[in-house]
Amino acid sequence: MNKRKNRQCYNVEGTELSVQTVHTAEEYQCENADKEVFSDSFGRVNDEDRDGQPKGGLGGGEIEEAHPSKKQKAEKIEGPGIVTDKLFSSLQISKPTHAAISEIGFQNMTQIQARSIPHLLMGRNVMGVARTGSGKTLAFLIPVVELLYHIKFKPRNGAGAIIICPTRELAIQTHGVAKDLLKHHSQTLGMVTGGVSRRKEAERLAKGVNILVATPGRLLNHLLHTEWFNYRNLKFLIIDEVDRIVDPNFENEMKQILNLLPQERQTALFTATHSKEVEDFVKLSFNEPPVYIGVDDGRSKVTSEGLNQGYYLVPSRERFLVLYTILKNKTVLSKKVMVFFSSRNSVKYHAELLKCMCIDCCEIYGKQEQKKRSKTISDFSNAKKGVLLCTDVAARGLHIPAVDLIVQYDPPKEPNEYVHRVGRTARGEGVEGTALLFLLPEEKNFVNYLHEANVPVIQYNLNREVPKLQSQLEKLVRENDYLHQSAKEAYKSYIAAYNSHTMSEIFNIHHLNLQGVAASFGLRTPPKINLKLKSSAFKFKKKMCIVNGNDSSFPKPHRRRLGLC
């Protein structure tokens, strides 16, 4: 894009950004800026697939290795796609299940389905790893439904299968797929998640739920306290998104759950991303090593084929204005976009702010009322376009149809989290999507970690000037008490999240320009914040206090930049 166009686009200084006086959307919009093709409108520097390595390497064999250390060479299926030439009709499964699959509309199995269902039907324990959006849900649900059908499970037998999901939204979605699959079966289905009446769930469990979809905390609660919950006959345990379930937040609950459930059962674990923690969990969960199915092992990238991924290097003070520019892009206005933030306060604030700036959006975060959360996901799923601001509560497993663009405005906790976030787009065979990652220039090293994790992300250049709207942004925030308070809370949460980032060697709070960060929240001065700094600077400060007996020896620039003293 030429310079002249840029100047035309953003010559909007003096425009008031406020609820009442905000101008029409088009007044902030570049007249000519948005004529590029969608996939090229993010300033891709290099369009070529950077991995350049041979594609494929996706096994399609019937027989899998019993353990990663004993991998056998699996039969190859041509191409890097996820759908195989194997038909569901070739599976030895019951008529009611066949009928349900036909009604859902699927004929060919995906890789993970073709490779794991036969083992699961034979009663084997399975550890399945396959990229996001590759059909893992049916891969475990079909064997679950079949098993309970064949052993003629009745409501009075209680829970025959439990499926553990890390988030309520994922549980709701899995429950929905199970419902479709059970359409011609008599087995009962139920769900227990946080955020809804525990008593109603308990009544339902007492009546007999054969297939139970659950989040860990609420499941444990029922296992411990719901008298008539019969889980003694459990035959099958599935843990979906196991790499999230091994998170320390779930550790205690999961240990108790695994201790309470009958040990004589079939177990299957599924995930899109592998980690050392998952391997340790596998060792703990199985006496015998499970059949390991790594659909993408040997593949040169872990993300979907149809995904275009780029990162922008944006200084703190320009971050919001760049986001605003992207969301106001004419092409993007007609797309379905998810924007990830590191905290719920940031989601809430940016939702308010964007609405004030005439960008319609919805929001989802962990502590939101469950009804609102579910409605937001359902509305956004049914929408043709729109913007959803979210925390990582929406990063995993959610299948929201036809999401075009993922923006990671705040950095993910680690490369695996990146993979899950971008996995909300380009789901399924031949589906395309775009993912944009915002990084501060000093965070650029994170890209090396992504490359190491086989994520082919390339640098995009901002192909336009950042609009000169900072003073209007600050005025808008200053003059609206609610927004101002919300901006301060969001700022503090951003700093707190940054300070506790797991990759603190890259996301180092002492490298942050707090003035710039504050500016990105529309604040002229950084609010004071009281953090327990875990970094070397804090240790240094402490040491100096001991040596000198007071705080004053702590280098002044640090004191000022951190706004601590």
Task: Give the footprint of ligand ATP on this chain (CB under 6 A).
Answer: 83, 106, 108-110, 113, 130, 132-138, 272, 397, 399, 423, 427-428
CB of 458 to ligand ATP, least distance (A): 23
What is the DSSP code string of 484-530?
HHHHHHHHHHHHHHHHT-S-TTTS-GGG--HHHHHHHTT-SSPPP--
DSSP H or E segment with residue 242: helix 242-245
Tell the smallest beta-carbon distance from residue 124 to ligand ATP (Å): 20
3-class DSSP assignment, residue 69: helix
Helices (H), strands (E): how many in the chain? Answer: 21, 16
The smaller minimum CB distance to ligand ATP, of residues 239 and 272, is found at 272
Which residue spans within 63-160 are E strands per DSSP? 83-87, 108-110, 126-129
Nearest distance in Å: CB 271, ligand ATP: 8
Is 277 exposed, middle or buried, given 0-12, 13-18 or 19+ CB atoms closer than 10 A?
middle
With respect to ligand ATP, which residue has the nearer C-beta, 109 or 562?
109
Q: How far is the CB of 241 from ligand ATP (least distance, A)?
A: 7
In angstroms, give the least distance from the CB of 104 to ligand ATP: 7
DSSP secondary structure of 340-394? E-SSHHHHHHHHHHHHHTT---EEE-TTS-HHHHHHHHHHHHH-SSEEEEE-GGG
Minimum Å distance from CB 83 to ligand ATP? 6
CB contact at 8 A, 441 and 508: no
- 110 vs 266 by CB, closer to ligand ATP: 110
Between 294 and 467, name the residue whose CB sits nearer to ligand ATP. Answer: 294
| Least distance in angstroms from the C-beta of 427 to ligand ATP | 5
> Are the CB atoms for 345 and 527 separated by under 8 Å?
no
Of 109 and 437, CB closest to ligand ATP:
109
Q: Are 43 and 463 in contact (CB under 8 A)?
A: yes
Nearer Cβ to ligand ATP (268/495) = 268
Strands 433-439, 362-364: pairing kind: unpaired
Tell me how far CA of residue 203 lies from CA of 10, 130, 206, 223, in angstroms. 60, 36, 5, 14
| Cα dihedral 452, 457, 463, 467 sign | negative
Q: What angle do CA 151, 291, 160 make, to 5 degrees?
A: 25
Cβ-based nearer residue to ligand ATP, 168 or 427: 427
Angle between helix axes 470-478 and 344-356 (nearest 10 degrees) is 100
* Cβ 253 to ligand ATP shortest distance, Å: 21
**Nearer residue to ligand ATP within complex by CB, 139 or 440:** 139
Minimum Å gap between C-beta 116 and ligand ATP is 11
Residue with smaller CB distance to ligand ATP, 136 or 222: 136
CB of residue 419 vs ligand ATP: minimum separation in angstroms? 9
- Give whole-number Cα distances, 157 to 214, 366, 491, 533, in Å: 18, 34, 52, 53
We find the least distance from the C-beta atom of residue 402 to ligand ATP, in angstroms, to be 10
Burial class (CB in 10 A: 0-12, 13-18, 19+), 402: middle
- What is the full DSSP assignment across 163-201? EE-SSHHHHHHHHHHHHHHTTT----EEEE-TTS-HHHH
**Closer Cβ to ligand ATP, 83 or 238, answer by number:** 83
Query: Please, which residue, 98 or 330, has the CB nearer to ligand ATP?
Result: 98
User: What is the rounded end-to-end Cα distance, in angstroms, of the chain?
Assistant: 46
Q: 76 pairs with which residues across the strands?
A: 59
* Contact residues for 47 (Cβ-Cβ < 8 A; gap 6+): 40
Closer CB to ligand ATP, 113 or 221, in the complex: 113
Please identify, using beta-carbon distances, which residue of 399 and 488 lies nearer to ligand ATP: 399
Core vs surface per residue 237-247: b (16+ CB within 10 A) or e: bbbbbbbbbbe
* Least distance from ligand ATP to the Cβ atom of residue 398, Å: 7
Write down the least CB distance from residue 134 to ligand ATP, Å: 4
